[in-house]
Amino acid sequence: MSTTEAEGFSFLLARHLERKEQEQAALARLLHDELCGQLVAARMLVARLLEPSTRASDVQRIGLEDVERQLATAITINRRIVERLRPGLLDHFGLSPALQALFEEQGRSAGLEVVLRLPQEPLELSPEAGICLYRVAEEALDNVVKHAQARRIDLQVVRQATRCVMTLRDDGVGFEPSRLEGLGTVGLPLIRERLGALGGRLALTAAPGSGVCLVASLPLAATLRAAAGS
């Protein structure tokens, strides 16, 4: 593939990923505004029926309590789906809070010791770069939870000169480096494509019994603006 063809592919891929994220964001808003609203309203109605002043038999009350529990569970599931489709923290507060919530909820719920080193100051990332790094971390975390048999996962995000660098390490079973490209469970092709479409880079090292280290980097917004102006 020539350089021109590769640049054209990267541009098309970036546009495709952007449209996909926009579609997921629209679906997330629909689920949050419509479905979650209906579930909350139904739960409030059941709560009113359970008030001491209402005349309900013991059997009816037990049934209503069961319905209330199921509605509460449905609301929680709906909110998790919304967050997976489009992380609200990322849109409103930036990459660090979104990654912290992701790893604390999903990592620790899977029994992992989670160690986070995240910058307190806002990172100058384009919206596309922010969601890209979030998706890379999400994919990597999913893989660790499902396949690595790890006890600990470390996530670090730092600014290095003109790039944002994210490093993710686990102490899992690892694998042979020679099998790196053939491990579809790692999600490596998708991660590479996501990063490459935005001018990013990926380094992945592993060894049997020594876990995996993933390093992903993307240009900062100021770097992209300077390149566009040159």
Using DSSP, state whether 152 is helix, strand or coil.
strand
**CATH number of the domain located at residue range(s) 92-229 in this protein:** 3.30.565.10
In the chain, where the domains are located: 3-85, 92-229
Distance CA 145, CA 219 (A): 28
Rounded percentage of the chain residues whose pLDDT exceeds 70: 76
pLDDT digits (tens, 9 = 90+) for 64-74: 788 888 888 88
User: What is the pTM assigned to this prediction?
Assistant: 0.69
User: Which residue reads 């280290």 in tokens?
Assistant: 213
Greater model confidence, 82 or 183: 82
Greater model confidence, 106 or 180: 106
Q: Is the pLDDT at 103 greater than 80, yes or no?
A: yes
The answer to whether residues 228 and 214 touch, using CB atoms and an 8 Å cutoff, is: no
Sheet with 163-170: list strands edge to edge: 113-117, 152-160, 163-170, 212-219, 201-206
Residues in CB range of 182: below 8 A, 6 or more apart: none
Using DSSP, state whether 125 is helix, strand or coil.
coil
pLDDT digits (tens, 9 = 90+) for 136-148: 999 899 989 988 9
Distance CA 65, CA 118 (A): 42
Distance CA 49, CA 190 (A): 50
